[in-house]
A and B are shown apart, each in its own frame.
Chain A
Amino acid sequence: MSLLLIVLLPLLGSLLPLLSSNHRRHQCALLTAAMPLVALLIALREAPGVLAGDVPRLAFSWVPALGLDLALRLDGLSLMFVLLILGIGLLIILYARHYLSTADSMPRFYAFLMLFMTAMLGIVMADNLILLWMFWELTSLSSFLLIGFWNHQSGARKGARMALAVTGMGGLALLAGLILIGQIVGTFDMQTVLDSRDVILDDPRYLPALLLILLGAFTKSAQFPFQFWLPQAMAAPTPVSAFLHSATMVKAGVFLLARLHPALAGSQEWLYLVSLTGLVTMLYGAYFALIKLDLKAILAYSTVSHLGLITMLFGLDSRMAVVAGLFHILNHATFKAALFMTAGIVDHECGTRDIRKLKGLWRYMPMTTALAAITAASMAGVPLFNGFLSKEMMLAETLGTSLLGGLAWLIPTLATVGSILAASYSLRYVRNTFFDGKPRELEKTPHEAPFPMRLPILILAIVCVVVGILPALTTTDLLTAAADAALVGAAPELHLSIWHGFNLPLLMSAIALAGGIAVYLLRQHLFTFHRQFPSRHSLTIFEGAVQRLVRFTQWCIDTLENGSLQRYMLWVVISALGVAGMGLMSIDTLQGDVAMQPADPMVTVGAVITCFAGLGTAFLHRRRLISLIMLSVVGLMASLAFARFSAPDLALTQLAVEVVTVILLMLALFFLPQKTPKESSASRIVRDVLFAAGFGGVVASLNYALLTRPLTSISDFFLDNSVPGGGGHNVVNVILVDFRGFDTLGEITVLCIAGIGIYKLLNRLRLFMPSSDSEGRPWSPDRYPMILASVSQTLLPMALLVSVFIFLRGHNAPGGGFIAGLVTAVALILMYIAHGVEWAQQRLSFQYQPIAVSGVAIATLTGLGSWVFGYPFLTSAFGHFHIPLIGDVELATAMLFDLGVYLTVVGATLMILANLGKVTTPHRPSKQKEKA
């Protein structure tokens, strides 16, 4: 439980500062510091056990289907990072209290900082790969907020965006890599993964997984060639730079290397990829740290360089190198956080970070100068400071590597070169800022910063010195515990001390220091040399790339999605043609094994009429009324076809729908142009005809191929179970209301939604009202035909009776809710047509929307009813009942469901047609005439 607290307390802490106001800054800082302090105490309480070799673990199942558990662990490696994050985090809170100006929102800053701290703690304590990744992404997001904290500055926004783009992309790669690892091992559990090195290394997916994971780690830790985002992230407030870009976030990448070291390391791929990338980064960063003029840029590039050094150590094929890497993580965090804070003080007090303007600040800020000198000496690798110890270990380990085979001597040589540069830029940082004459062009007279700003640096400097002098006493246990977690088997025995006697690493260290001073003295030659290179700013390049990407996607969108329905249709058709065409090409012959049935004259005549009507609809489409009549012929022929081929239910449905559709389209046509203008170009017509013909050909071939092949169907189940299972003889209806009742429920819901949508569309509809027909003759006033009016009135009760009959027999004979509903709707619509909307409205004085909605409700409730009896949704029950005078009747709950279908169909259909009629009636010529 205490593990969970370590992570959750800072998360809680991200809310606390928001309770405070920006004016009460002490209170805000104290509130923020409380939670991490408690978390640190908890971690310290756990520490003795962890150092003794225990690994407290904690797991809750979270999303078992994804293999995601809320699982935490606190092994030596985690402990080292937890202490680092919480310890330095607390110092940063103290420092930021005085660093932030009153214009900055302190609660917001602290909230982001705490969120970031939570994410970081989550990474180092995660005991599940996916959980680790989740926290990893959270660090990217929260660091985005922190880098862009001064969001009024363009540089901050761009830097934040760049950091997010690079680390976010790396995060996605990492996810892919972790999933691969999870698939190889079969679980995302950290311990199992760490124990499965042999399985992972032998798997063919090892290399892609390794590449993806390294991509994630390298982007996060700003390794070459992804180093460019880190200097841009310096647009952040200095406390953020000190915390994120020295001590923690960029360490997430190297932490990942250490965490997965037991599972992934040991292969040639790991050796070459990791250590060479680290080496290149180390040299690259060191060179630019020497060139840069901005204090924070110098520190940023030196961070890149040191991260490269750590990465190289994790890559080397030596167990002690891993220990050295861990040790350097610790040391680098202490001296680099302190150095950033001194840079912050200089910036704060002098108003500039330009190293050309700053000189001789020791007169004004002696203590800061001393602290900067100590920590920079540690960075340079001067003996008696902690940086020296890990740097010498690093030099020693490069000597023993087998990397590059016969050229292995290159590695220690280049490592020494890197150390020379490190000594040189450290010297430059201190001497050019604090010594070397008097300051020039400063806007204000600098003075020492308030003591609470210096206190964190002082603490860190003391750590640097104490660890540097007494390494064995202070860090051996922690390092051994951490190395235990990062290595397979027990860590090598550690003999940390300042003096190992005269040996090669000591010589290399001496060369580094002496060389560093020499390079510093000769630095002007280096600067002159460097000026030959064209200056290329990474931000400009990155922004240019982003702009190009945006333009490209914009172009894609403009091309594909230009707002033309015709083009969309064409794309849909082309893809349908492609898919169906490929399916057709994969069969050997179009004709299947089943012999064709002979065509009888009736079918032939029907087919010919249908084809002509279909073609007529298309060819005569510019004369819309005729086209519509042709369409209705097709609909009627389809209905006949259903009747001919043994589908009475379909024939009835199609017939009723056909009537409703044609009435609707006629009504709509009245308000649309009567003719379609000639506007398609000849080439477009040719193109469309070709596509349509191709589409028709594919459909016909597909249909023919299907019809001449033997049929296997799952319908036997429905035929067998219709009576015993559904209590109905009409299998189609039983499928609709029982077997596939859920589909029908969805379908009537869609119908109801369509009706409501249309109701909404009709609201405040502006109509184009033709005053004359297409030949210029004025519309005659609408008279309702006498005969139709009388007959329809007589017909109504009969039609309703028929619909009830169809409804009731639906379960056992052709019929059912759909058809009955349509028949009722047609009968009522006939009233509207024969007598006009007003007449009908007076007599049918109810709203149709509630009918449709209650239909869906009844159907749903029927389905839910089966839950009451402990059955799954939409289970039907049926039984035989004896009703006096009528006799035995079979009643099923499916009938209630069918009633819902019936009501929905009636309601939706009338909602559409009656409302359309109602909206349009006031505009009819007859009314206008009457009014006139």
Chain B
Amino acid sequence: MEALFATTTGILAASGLYLSLRGRTFPVVVGLTLLSYAVNLFLFSTGGLTTDGAAVINDSGGYTDPLPQALVLTAIVIGFAMTAFSVILAMRVRGDVGSDHVNGNRIDEPREDKS
């Protein structure tokens, strides 16, 4: 199970990174989101992969590690804020620069109607 989990994290990280290295804003945003999923899963797994545990105090015990969970919970929300910020930055850049290339290059693209 651990090997499976690790492989999945690796594949997600690789896909996310590949997208982050693309030249257009949208794939980069998607890539960063994907990368943050991979990172969240990775961080979460540092507490171990517990089946049928919980981080709620009860009489029977069998706890999972609550600390990575607390970290990842905030990371998920921050990740959303980051995604939102970068995608709207991308929209703004397209509006102001006229290109959705991450380097701000004006590469000829089929001009769409501008409202």
Contacts and interface: CB of A to CB of B under 8 A. Distances in A.
A610 B13 contact: no
Interface in A873-909: 905, 908-909
A506 interface: no
Nearest to A592: B2
A318 to B, nearest CB: 69
Contacts of B83: 661, 664-665
A916 B87 CA distance: 11
Nearest to A744: B74
Given A641-B41, A699-B13, A729-B56, A818 B77 contact: yes
B67 A714 contact: yes
Contact of A704 (B2, B50, B64): B2
B30 A767 contact: no
A768 B26 CA distance: 14
Interface in A717-771: 718-719, 722-723, 729-732, 735-736, 740, 743-744, 747, 750-751, 754-755, 757-758, 761-762, 765-771
A768 B33 contact: no
A605 to B, nearest CB: 10
Interface residues on B, range: 35 or more
Tell me what chain A mostly uses at the interface: helix, strand, loop, or mixed: helix
A645 interface: yes
B50 A646 contact: yes
Contacts of B56: 729-731, 812-814
A715 B13 contact: no
A565 interface: yes
B74 A747 contact: yes
A711 interface: yes
A647 B64 contact: yes
Interface in B44-62: 44-58
Given A704-B2, A718-B67, A735-B67, A696 B73 contact: no
A736 B66 CA distance: 10
Chain A CB count within 10 A is highest, among B6, B49, B66, B85, for B66
Interface stretch (A33-41, A66-74, A616-624): A616-624
A695 B6 contact: no
A644 interface: yes
A19 interface: no
A732 B92 contact: no
A696 B10 contact: yes
Contacts of B89: 761
A768 B84 contact: no
A718 B81 CA distance: 28
A421 B92 CA distance: 74
B91 A699 contact: no
A680 interface: yes
A774 to B, nearest CB: 10
Nearest to A755: B81
A306 to B, nearest CB: 60
Contact of A661 (B80, B113, B114): B80
A649 interface: yes
Nearest to A728: B57
B6 A676 contact: no
Contact of A617 (B34, B44, B52): B34
Contacts of B29: 665, 668
Given A661-B80, A691-B17, A766-B95, A743 B112 contact: no
A621 B96 contact: no
B54 to A, nearest CB: 6
A732 B66 contact: yes
A603 B21 contact: no
Contact of A607 (B4, B46, B74): B4
A755 B80 CA distance: 11
Contacts, number: 332
B30 A665 contact: yes
A231 to B, nearest CB: 49
A607 B5 contact: yes
Contacts of A812: 56
Nearest to B101: A679
A99 B9 CA distance: 78
B26 A676 contact: yes
A200 interface: no
B76 A707 contact: no
A616 to B, nearest CB: 8
B74 A614 contact: no
B67 to A, nearest CB: 5
Nearest to A595: B2
B95 A767 contact: yes
B33 to A, nearest CB: 6
A673 B112 contact: yes
Nearest to B95: A766
Given A566-B102, A597-B51, A769-B112, A711 B65 contact: yes
Contacts of A740: 70
Contacts of A711: 47-48, 65
Contact of B85 (A598, A607, A719, A757): A757
A697 B10 contact: yes
A696 B14 contact: yes
Interface stretch (A130-138, A390-398, A631-639): A631-639
A821 B21 CA distance: 33
A638 B37 contact: yes
Nearest to A692: B18
A583 to B, nearest CB: 14
Contacts of B21: 566, 569-570, 573, 688, 691-692
B17 A614 contact: no
A150 to B, nearest CB: 44
A703 interface: yes
Contact of B22 (A570, A676, A708): A676
A818 B81 CA distance: 13
A707 B17 contact: no
A642 B69 CA distance: 9
Contact of B19 (A604, A621, A671, A708): A621
A570 B33 CA distance: 17
Chain B CB count within 10 A is highest, among A715, A722, A723, for A715
Given A750-B78, A761-B88, 14 more contacts: A603-B1, A607-B7, A610-B8, A618-B14, A628-B30, A641-B5, A647-B64, A680-B22, A701-B6, A704-B6, A747-B78, A768-B114, A769-B115, A818-B73
7 contacts: A615-B11, A645-B44, A673-B26, A715-B67, A761-B88, A768-B114, A923-B115
- Which 6 A-B pairs rank lowest in CB-CB distance, beginning with the nearest? A700-B10, A696-B14, A766-B95, A704-B6, A692-B18, A618-B15
Interface of A: 563-566, 569-570, 573, 596-600, 603-604, 607, 610-611, 614-615, 617-618, 621, 624, 627-628, 631, 634-635, 638, 641-642, 644-650, 653-654, 657, 660-661, 664-665, 668-669, 671-673, 676-677, 679-680, 688-689, 691-693, 695-704, 706-708, 711, 713-715, 718-719, 722-723, 729-732, 735-736, 740, 743-744, 747, 750-751, 754-755, 757-758, 761-762, 765-771, 812-814, 818, 822, 905, 908-909, 912, 916, 923
